[in-house]
Amino acid sequence: MTWREDQRVAWPMKKLGHAQLGAREGAMLYYLARDWASGARPLVELGSFLGGSASLTGAGLKDNPLWNGQTKLHCFDIFEAKYGNMAEFIRTRVDPDFEAGQNFQYLFDAQTAEVSEAIEVHRGDLMQASWSGGEIDMLFVDIAKTPDLNRITLQRFLPALRVETGLLVNQDFHNPDNPWIHTSLGFLSSHFELIEPRADDSILLRLVRPIPPEALREAGRFEDLPDEEAMNRVNRLMSLLRQNDAEPAMSSWSAPGCRFAPATARRGAPRSRRRWPATARGIPRPISSGSGGQTRCRRWRDPSGLISLT
Ligand SMILES: C[S@@+](CC[C@H](N)C(=O)[O-])C[C@H]1O[C@@H](n2cnc3c(N)ncnc32)[C@H](O)[C@@H]1O
């Protein structure tokens, strides 16, 4: 099953129109939470709005056969229509009487009602928020609309992403209004592997190496970054995208129905079974074909150049 071939899971969200999210990225979130997440470590969403992405990620977690019934998707949002076109969006699509600045959490609660047992809400300004819930499987970012919010994401949430298996979905990536995302991810590009270049506005990356705190701080620089250094970082990001193009057409991931391989299984895998070559920068790709009695999951490029998972 792939989010590229079948986005029906996201159709109710699109039909209702109560989301600033595409069907592809919505379906991707569902399948990642269902088939990739451990079911025992939290998922974090920054920017929940009316609950489109949360309802799909929460549904995926609930449908995950390994879900322990306690692990949550943690949703961070201020739930007040005071940014951008939010009030207008709600007025035209949901409630004609909705006023600017009004609280919209009742709409989030309604859209996520069916998965509420898999969700924990953190209401408030992200500038004051932090994370103390331990390692996370997936960080979904749909809030990095300013350099400051991007820095909070980098410094307070990204450090919790589990190295080797942790996934970063950045929904602000394919938006030219947010260039700080490109300079920061460019600076950090050697720590990530590209999994999905584009699903609607989202990019999907896997954290392959721990990021030192000083690198996270430096990655958040934007306003005072000299133009030349900004361009260097963007070029590094381009290398990450090009590197992926240069890789073999097929590699394997170990997963039951696409589940994470235990890190120990990957470390123990014989070299000859490792399908990913060293990258141009000489950083070995740690994913092997896996073992430990788990089903394999194949990943390849479809003719459009996009990556699918089955
Ligand atoms: C693009 S919307 C998220 C869309 C959502 N993921 C969906 O599926 O429809 C961005 C959200 O970020 C929230 N937001 C923006 N700035 C914030 C801040 N400083 N603190 C908390 N939430 C904020 C907004 O309230 C809004 O709900």
- Reported as a single tens digit per residue, the pLDDT across 9-30 is 999 998 888 999 999 999 999 9
Query: pLDDT tens digit string along 147-184?
Result: 999 999 999 999 999 999 999 999 999 999 999 999 99
**Per-residue pLDDT at 297:** 37
Rounded distance between C-alpha atoms, residue 9 and residue 270, angstroms: 38
pLDDT at residue 245, as a whole number:
58
Please give the pLDDT value at position 298. 34
The superfamily in CATH containing domain 8-246 is: Vaccinia Virus protein VP39 (3.40.50.150)
Q: Which atom of ligand 1 is the closest one to the Cα of 19?
A: 9
The pLDDT score that the predictor gives to residue 277 is: 28
Distance (Å, rounded) from C-alpha 10 to C-alpha 3? 9
Q: Do the Cβ atoms of 17 and 93 come closer than 8 Å?
A: yes
Q: Of 50, 60, 56, 54, which Cα lies nearest the Cα of 74? A: 54
Residue ranges of the chain with pLDDT lower than 70? 1, 244-310
**Cα(53) to centroid(ligand 1), Å:** 11
| CA-18 nearest atom, ligand 1 | 9
Closest residue by Cα to atom 12, ligand 1, is: 47
User: pTM of the full predicted structure?
Assistant: 0.83
How would you list the strands of the sheet with 202-207, edge to edge? 119-123, 73-77, 43-46, 138-141, 167-170, 202-207, 192-199
Closest residue CA from atom 16 of ligand 1: 143
Instruction: Please list the residue range(s) of the chain that carry CATH number 3.40.50.150.
Output: 8-246
